[in-house]
Amino acid sequence: MSYSDPTPELSVTSQDPNGPALAPSGVTVPAREVDHARSSTGVTLLPGDVVVTPTKDKGGWWIRLWAKLQRKPDQFNHIALFTHYDSAGVPRGLEGRPGGFGWVDLNKYLDRPGAITNVGQPGRTDEKRQEALALARQLIAVPYDWRAILGLGAQLFSPRLLRLVQAANEWPEGKPPGHVVCSSSLDWIYEEVGWVSPGGIEKTRWTAPHDWATLITANGWDKPPGSV
């Protein structure tokens, strides 16, 4: 959901500064062999897959503590979307972070012990995967949702207060959100393309990393299709 990134990955354009542009909106481009990545466990990712991971910064520690105090899965605090390999062969993705929604080198997540993915999630065609990437490009440079962070933090003191805040401040339907965090941005993308997401149709802005982890592990989607 948040972390400190010293590298200037953010781009205000839809083209990855470290590689080729993604497919234009409305254009169907089948997932190619080059557009995949392997995690440290050997799992192959395709465009539109998510990576749920812990990070080592202070913000990540607080997010995991917040999840632990709620008796939620507390191994994870960040999530990113795999998009493609860049021209140097580096797996690239998009993520929400304090500097704004933007590009990221996914190696630091894919090689991290404990990271999981949703490679086994069914019902995601090549066409829908490219639609998801087009939606992700729409979010580039969208600011971080600090109000959502404060609202989620309020749950530790008053779950009722959080419910009231959520009901009054959920994103309106029919247009991209104006502020996002990592987990809510990908929840919105998945909802828009019709894929199963942790927030369902009732919750989007308030989706947390542990919600993604719960959805993925409960359904066994962290394993490739057909695996035991």
- 3-state helix, strand, coil split of the chain in percent (to 5) is 30, 15, 55
Q: Name the fold adopted by 37-218.
A: endopeptidase fold (from Nostoc punctiforme) (3.90.1720)
Given a contact cutoff of 8 angstroms between Cβ atoms, the answer to whether 37 and 85 are in contact is yes
Predicted pLDDT of residue 125: 96
Asked if 77 and 56 count as a contact pair (C-beta separation under 8 A), the reply is: no
Q: Are 152 and 162 in contact (CB under 8 A)?
A: yes
- For residue 192, pLDDT over 90 is answered with yes
pLDDT digits (tens, 9 = 90+) for 125-166: 999 999 999 999 999 999 988 887 776 666 656 666 556 555
More confident residue, 56 or 124: 124
DSSP annotation of 154 reads G
Q: Give per-residue pLDDT as tens, 18-73.
A: 655 443 333 222 333 334 455 444 678 899 999 998 777 665 545 556 655 666 66
Domain limits, the chain? 37-218
